[in-house]
Amino acid sequence: MLLQISEPGESTIKEACKQRVIGIDLGTTNSLVAWVTDGSPVVIGEDPIVPSVVYYGPDDTILVGREAAKRGLDSPRETLASVKRLIGRNLSDVESVRNLLPYELVGDDRAVRVVVGDKEVSPVEVSAEILKALKLRAEAALGGTIEGAVITVPAYFDDAQRQATRDAGRLAGLEVMRLMAEPTAAAVAYGLDKGSQGTYAVFDLGGGTFDISILKLVDGVFEVKATGGDSALGGDDLDRSIATAVVGTLANGSDLAHRKHVAAVVAEARRVKEALTTAETALYKVQGAERQISRADLREYAKPLLDRCAKACRRVLKDAELTKDQLDGVILVGGSTRSPIVREFVAELFGKQPLSDLDPDQVVALGAAVQADVLGGGEQQVTLLDVIPLSLGVEMMGGIVEKLIHRNTTIPSGATQTFATYADNQTGFVIHVVQGERETAEACRSLATFTLKGVPPMIAGMARVEITFLVDADGLLKVMAKELTTGIETSIEVKPSYGLSDEEVERMLIESFDFAETDLAMRNLLTERVEGDRILNATRGAFASDAASADHLLDDDVRDAGIAAMRDLERAMAGDDHLKIRAMVEALDLATKPFAQKRMNRAVEAQLHGLTLEEAESQVSH
């Protein structure tokens, strides 16, 4: 066949030549899969929305999606929904929602697991089942094996949650090309569809997470200026608020406390919430009791949750150094933004009507498909510049934090800094990696600890270690340490086994502002105490060394002055005035300066002894 003519959009030749790559929106409530065909992203399936629900039946039967959701009312203990809220978490992280879930949670400080029937499954395994279903759907539509996928995650997912999502993709048999922040995916979809330029806020309120991001769109480059949100806030919480408020007023309200009824009353609350999207009132019916619910009631139930959204939005605008008037628009993402009360709230908060041209349920999957097409060698030309949501650093002596990569730094990124030994004859470095905005390690989240061994014993400050942080495009961190004298090095990929709790997410950012002055004062105090300890130890060691030497360099008056200065420094270090400590350090340095000069002269003389003039000059120049 020399020539084949097809109608526009119906040719299969070009599609057969390109990689089969897909974009997946792995949502808390619903999931979708999309791909790019003829230059445009489209969702796959006549009914593209797949409920993020998995049913574990007898004889290893596993159902995903709408069929699983139907089983949920009759078999709540065998049906798992909203598991995305558990992924990358430990048991204590989800303590606040355990009683609201229709299934039992078990686990420890490493990871949470879900009891389903007579077995336990991890959130990673449950998410993998959803991804498998989406993969099979895509393979059936595209006519072959899927060669790669971009999976979206909330912008506020931490390293553990991102890694767990990637693991779920691999378990589902997917080559995960990249993890992509959901707000960024939405901006990509809008930017390509509308040719938008300017600065936009992406308000993403899904079933289980809330993200707010500020993005700048210029000539195909999508740069995230700031991001924030709450990884445990979404439409599911509104459903539970409705259920808690309404069921408590019904005759059988006490049944809400029983696990077997939770799924039914929450499902009815969700139905009523969705009905109020187009109607002014809806009838809530559960266990033979009824109550009429109005939009005004819904607005009252939603107010505490929307107040949390507003706080995060104001914080992100401050981080981006923008006012709401400087925004060119607000993009709505997530099924919860269909609600009129949410849209009214967003319009009032930002002072402008939000954009809702694209389906808020589909927009994230469409953006992910575009990015997958870019990575798969497609024709789209898009550059994504995402950011790190929380600062990354190492713990220093005294418990202070040295930040190597600051929050809202564009990724992928890296940073290198050199540190010296604190004590004489130190033969190793313990490197404690932390995440957060506070100035002390105890107020930040610990990510990992590892040790660089084999450092040659030297006097304090002579051995130096170079620490490098590398954050890849998925936001995952690798830390490398290298001792510069010997070249000995080690590295670690930071893969913590659990994520940030709701309280930690809120605390890390809010307290970084609330305690900024206190933290700075504490950092100054700890820094000066460390320096005070260092000079005290060095001075005591030098005095002891001189006393044991046959050739004394320490005069009596210098010794007496030094001892007095050391006592003054010790008293200052017992207090909390860092300026006084610094002054006493300087006073000790001045008191012992004659002794230090003699020691230095002797060291230089010993080093140059027996050398010719030319050799000595060469030594000095080096």
**SS3 (DSSP) at 100:** helix
What residues pair up with 50 in beta bridges, in sequence order?
Answer: 31
Q: How far apart are CA 34 and CA 367, in angstroms?
A: 9
Strand partners, 219: none
**Paired tokens of 417:** 């800094």
Query: Could you say which of 25, 211, 361, 395 is catalytic?
Result: 25
φ, ψ at 219 (rounded to 5°): 50, 50
Distance, CA of 139 to CA of 22 (rounded, Å): 10
CB 507 within 8 A of CB 544: no
d(CA 127, CA 49): 16
Task: State whether the Cα torsion 279-340-151-88 is positive or negative.
Answer: negative
Asked if 303 is an active-site residue, the reply is: no
What letter would DSSP give residue 197?
A: -
Clarify whether 182 is annotated catalytic.
Answer: yes
- Look up 357 and say whether it is catalytic: no
Q: What is the dihedral of CA 557, 559, 561, 566, to 10 degrees?
A: -170
**Bond before 412 cis per omega within 30 degrees:** yes
Name the catalytic one among 204, 239, 437, 504: 204
Q: Catalytic pick from 84, 135, 216, 225? A: 84
Beta strands in 182-300 (DSSP E): 198-205, 210-218, 221-230, 281-286, 289-294
Query: Catalytic pick from 125, 129, 167, 182?
Result: 182
Q: Which two tokens stand for residue 348?
A: 């009032």
Among 20, 75, 37, CA closest to 379: 37
Please choose, from the candidates 434, 453, 457, the residue with its C-alpha nearest in 3D space to the C-alpha of residue 445: 434
Question: Which structure tokens are listed for 285?
Answer: 């019916």
- Cβ burial, residue 419 (10 Å; 0-12/13-18/19+): middle
CB 49 within 8 Å of CB 361:
yes
Facing residues of 375 across strands?
none
| Residue of 261, 267, 260 lying closest to 287 (CA atoms) | 261
Instruction: Give DSSP secondary structure letters for 339-379.
Output: SHHHHHHHHHHHTSPPB--S-TTTHHHHHHHHHHHHHTT-S
Q: What backbone torsions phi and psi does residue 330 show, to the nearest 5 degrees?
A: -125, 125
Distance, in Å, from the CA atom of 235 to the CA atom of 360, rounded to the nearest integer, reads 14
Q: Cα dist. 448→31, 157, 478 in Å?
A: 32, 18, 11
SS3 203: strand
- Residue by residue, DSSP assigns 429-491 as EEEEEEESSSSBGGGSEEEEEEEEE-PPP-STTTSEEEEEEEE-TTS-EEEEEEETTT--EEE
In the annotation, is 194 catalytic? Answer: no
Give me the active site residues, please. Answer: 25, 84, 182, 204
